[in-house]
A and B are shown apart, each in its own frame.
Chain A
Amino acid sequence: MRKLKSILASKILCSIKAAFRTLLWILVLWIGILVQTEGVQGKLYIDITAPSMRRISIAIPDFKYLGKTNGHPDLSSTLPGIISNDCDLSGYFKPLDKGSFIEGPNSGITRDSIRFKDWSVIGAELLLKGGYECIGQQLKVVVRLFDVFSGKQLYGKRVLAPVKQARYLMHRLGNEIILTLTGHPGPFLTKMAFVGTSTGHKEIYLCDYDGHNVKRLTHYDTISLSPQLSPLGDRMIYTSFRNSSTVLFMHDVVKGSVTKISDRKGLNIAAAWKPNGKELALTLTISGNPDIFLIDITGKILKRLTKNWGIDVSPTFSPDGKRMAFVSNRSGSPQIYILDLTTNQIERLTFEGSYNTSPAWSKLDRIAFASSSDGHFDIYTISPDGKELQRVTQDQGNNEDPCWSPDGRYIAFSSNRTGGDYHIFIANANGQNQRKVTFLKGDQLSPAWAQHFE
């Protein structure tokens, strides 16, 4: 008995050690190289659950160079520029124009060396001060966030990372600032996939959530559509035309390898990930009619999900994976329906408008969709029980293809409101703070949003 106990104890010790080691590794990886936190306050400054928010004005002056000879003078404005853009896109802040700053050149980045009156007088509520130093290829950054009225430091951090990861570094700091002020991490380290037409062909692209770091993923010179990133952000599926038929492909974003998942006769389109990342729903026409099937990631059919004379497309799963919303014209026009995967019951969700498509189910249990009224498409959100219909876009061209940020707090869509071409916009879930994030030639369509895979 004692032996058993001692074995058990040693085993537990071992597993604790192993767990501790993994934890340590995760910590080290996550932190990058060196992070040192300075006094963080617990109070939440921003209640993001409020139906509408007042944006807090924040001043972010150029970062000071802390070393002797500055090898990267440009970073003085680009580093705060990245965080400033994050703050603006988050919808929580209103970054103040640098031209209005009246602070003298001798002020520093520590509490004692800042005259907070210089900032309160121009209307700043928060002040983000930063400094940096380049040591070889390494970048050392210090940031401090102050409450201008009380002069208190709300957040402070020192970070070290390779210079070429400057954007990543600033996004991470931005996320932590949002976490400090709202209790939830920001969306700044997420990725977006979209369909771009700048080459004259529809190809799949990948970029950061703010439209930077654009990478072209496909070079097929045909038509590639409907990218969907896996819940972890490590794999992507899309449909591409091959020899005059549609084929579903899976693209490993990390390795760059491409696998054919489904090339059955007819359509292989509009696939969606189940939240477990192991199964997909897609529309096939093998039954002679566009119906939705459940397949595994090797392409094997697990189950037929819809069986109807009409068109069934565009599936999207609830966060728990137990229900699936989709588009069907079984009532005569395209409308959104919800299938309960355990009871196989199907219920119609949308009744207003004669053309409702593109459902996207958020992690916070809202369904976004595109609806046509007066000849234009606009984005709406609705509860899965059909209540709380909310309009997101209005009177600004066509707005289509909505998708949610991984945390469900932001919505992305493509819009031609700037005239002619479609670009991707992001907005708060309630439609506030709509911002254009892609500025490429041609159209940018069908955004898909996912966690950044590290």
Chain B
Amino acid sequence: MKRNLVIATLGVFACSSVFLLCSCAKKQVVGEEKEITAPVKEAAKVEEEKPAAVEVAKEVKAEEEKEVKKVEEARIEKPKELEIAKKKEAEEKVWEDRGGIRLEAEPVYFDFDKSFIRPEYRPTLTEKAEFLKDNPNVHIRIEGNCDERGTNEYNLALGERRAESAKGFLASLGISPDRIETISYGEERPLAVGQNEDSWSQNRRDDFVIMKK
């Protein structure tokens, strides 16, 4: 019985090593991206499935065949993907959209109990300012937020200062303050609910919302 098991295990190793070599070789032809990740994945799989050796061996073979199919399919599909990507890129090239999306999607984060703009967010705000310059009809709202620590009264005031801080930065870059309204939500709109620095740091932020296009 034991001997059988040993043989089976050895068999799996043999099969898998053959398979690994094969798959590596094949993939090198297709594309370099998968070269590193694929073998590691497969090796892990083989290790896990050692006990049911014979079946695994079969499975591995099947997998191998599938993999070949996949690679072939990928070869055919790749141009399609490229086409879509190209289209997307073309869309993103429209400056208005790209800047607009980034304006809303990229918040500015703050230190605890502070409302000054951290140096690493100056480029973010500068980009927003450029977008606003290129799109003079756009009005925005800056929403100041805080983490949960402290009173909501103090945090409402702190959030207001955070929003005003970003508004001031944009104004200093030539954006009319009339185009920017501010509001503070204090600690009332957390993005992350955990009670740790990871969550808190996500909640100390200014959100940017386009009000009028």
Across the interface, do A244 and B183 meet the contact criterion of CB distance under 8 Å? yes
**A290 and B188 contact, CB distance less than 8 A:** no
A370 and B151 alpha carbons, distance in the complex (Å):
9
Main secondary structure of the interface of A (DSSP, over half): strand
How many A residues, CB 8 Å from partner? 34
Q: Are B184 and A267 in contact (CB under 8 A)?
A: yes
How far is the CB of B148 from the nearest CB of chain A, in Å?
9
In the assembled complex, the Cα of A267 lies from the Cα of B149 at a distance in Å of 20
Residue B157 is within 8 A (CB to CB) of chain A in the complex: yes
Q: How far is the CA of A377 from the CA of B151 in the complex (A)?
A: 10
The answer to whether residues A400 and B151 also contact, given A290-B161, A311-B161, A329-B113 and a CB cut-off of 8 A, is yes
Interface positions, chain A 384-405, Cβ under 8 Å from B, are 400-401
Asked if B164 is at the interface of the complex by the 8 Å CB criterion, the answer is yes
Chain A, Cβ-Cβ closest to B168 = A288
Is B158 part of the contact surface with A, judged by Cβ < 8 Å? yes
> Inside 8 A of B156's CB, which chain A residues have their CB?
225, 246, 267, 269-270, 313
Chain B residue nearest to A291 in the complex (CB):
B157
A372, B151: Cα distance in complex, Å: 11
A262 within 8 A of B: no
Q: Is B152 an interface residue (CB 8 A)?
A: yes
A202-B188, A290-B161 are contacts. A283–B150 as well, Cβ < 8 Å? Answer: no
Taking a contact as CB atoms under 8 Å apart, the answer to whether B157 and A226 are in contact is no
> Quick one: which of B113, B152, B188 has the most chain A CB within 10 A?
B152
- Bin chain B's interface residue count: 10 to 19
Q: Are B152 and A226 touching (Cβ within 8 A)?
A: yes
Q: How far is the CB of A11 from chain B (nearest CB, A)?
A: 52
B116 at the interface (CB under 8 A from A): no
Q: Are A244 and B153 in contact (CB under 8 A)?
A: no
Residue pair B150, A290 in contact (C-beta under 8 Å)? no
Cross-chain contact of B157 among A241, A283, A358, A401 (Cβ < 8 A): A283
| A355–B17 alpha-carbon span in the complex (Å) | 62
- Compute how far the CA of A312 lies from the CA of B160 in the bound complex, rounded to whole angstroms: 12
Determine if A314 and B113 form an interchain contact, defined as CB atoms under 8 angstroms apart.
no
Residues of B within 8 A of A241 (CB): 188
Given A223-B188, A244-B183, A290 and B152 contact (CB-CB distance below 8 Å):
no
Residues of chain A within 8 A (CB-CB) of B95 are none
User: From residue 264 to 292 of chain A, which have CB atoms closer than 8 A to chain B?
Assistant: 266-267, 269-270, 283, 285, 288-290
A327 within 8 A of partner (CB): yes
- Bound: A136/B58 CA distance, A: 87
In the complex the two chains form, is B183's CB within 8 Å of A245's CB? yes
Chain B residues with CB under 8 Å of A267's CB are 156-157, 160, 184
Bound: A241/B153 CA distance, A? 13
Per-residue B-contact encoding for A307-334, CB less than 8 Å = 1, 0 else: 0000111100000000000010100011
With a cutoff of 8 Å between Cβ atoms, the chain B residues found around residue A202 in the complex are 188
Report if A428 contacts B (CB, 8 A): no
Q: In the complex, what residues of B have CB within 8 A of residue A451's CB?
A: none
Task: Indicate the member of B153, B160, B182 with the most A CB atoms within 10 Å.
Answer: B153
A285-B113 CB under 8 A given contacts A311-B154, A334-B150, A357-B151: no
Evaluate contact between A333 and B152: CB separation under 8 angstroms: no
A358–B156 CA distance with the chains assembled, in angstroms = 13
Binary per-residue interface labels of chain A (433-447) against chain B in the complex, 1 for a CB within 8 Å, 0 otherwise: 000000000000010
Give B12 Cβ to nearest chain A Cβ, in Å: 49
Known interface pairs A246-B156, A334-B113; 12 further A-B residue pairs with C-beta atoms within 8 A, sorted by A's residue number: A202-B188, A223-B185, A267-B156, A269-B156, A270-B156, A290-B161, A311-B161, A329-B154, A334-B150, A355-B113, A357-B154, A377-B149
